[in-house]
Amino acid sequence: MRKVTIRFQDVATELAQINTLREDVMERAFGMLEQRYATLATMLVQSLGDRQRAVRWMCRHQNAFGGRTAYELLADGEEDGVWDEISLMGDAPVPARLNSARMAY
């Protein structure tokens, strides 16, 4: 059996390409959200403090959504669930909202 050698530079390059693609998809998805659900997108940005946090929040798997993302809820027609979570963020103190927005996605 031949041993396969993995070059760390190849791994790093591939991961960078994947991250670039992921960031692009996240931005395009949020742009579509802003077109289709403008009020929801605006409120999310206001609740989290900036657009980049909102972009990442929409893609993060949430315990409140049963491990799904907000996009998955919207795709399933569960817009109210996303609104409910945004309204709860509005009730949280600012540091708690910012910590929530920084969680790994």
Mean pLDDT by 10 residues, the chain (105 residues): 84 98 98 98 96 98 97 97 93 48 44
Query: For the whole model, what pTM was predicted?
Result: 0.78
Distance, C-alpha 84 to centroid of its chain: 17
Residue 76 pLDDT: 97
Residue 50 pLDDT: 96
HSE, CB side, 13 Å, CA atoms: give it for residue 105.
17
- Residue 80 to residue 74: CA distance in whole angstroms: 9
Residue 85 phi/psi, 5-degree rounding, is -70, -40
Tokens of 39: 């009020």
- Which residue stretches of the chain are H helix? 8-36, 38-48, 51-59, 70-75, 79-91, 94-102
Residue 65 pLDDT: 97
Residue 5 pLDDT: 82
- Residue 9 to residue 14: CA distance in whole angstroms: 9
Distance, C-alpha 18 to centroid of its chain: 16
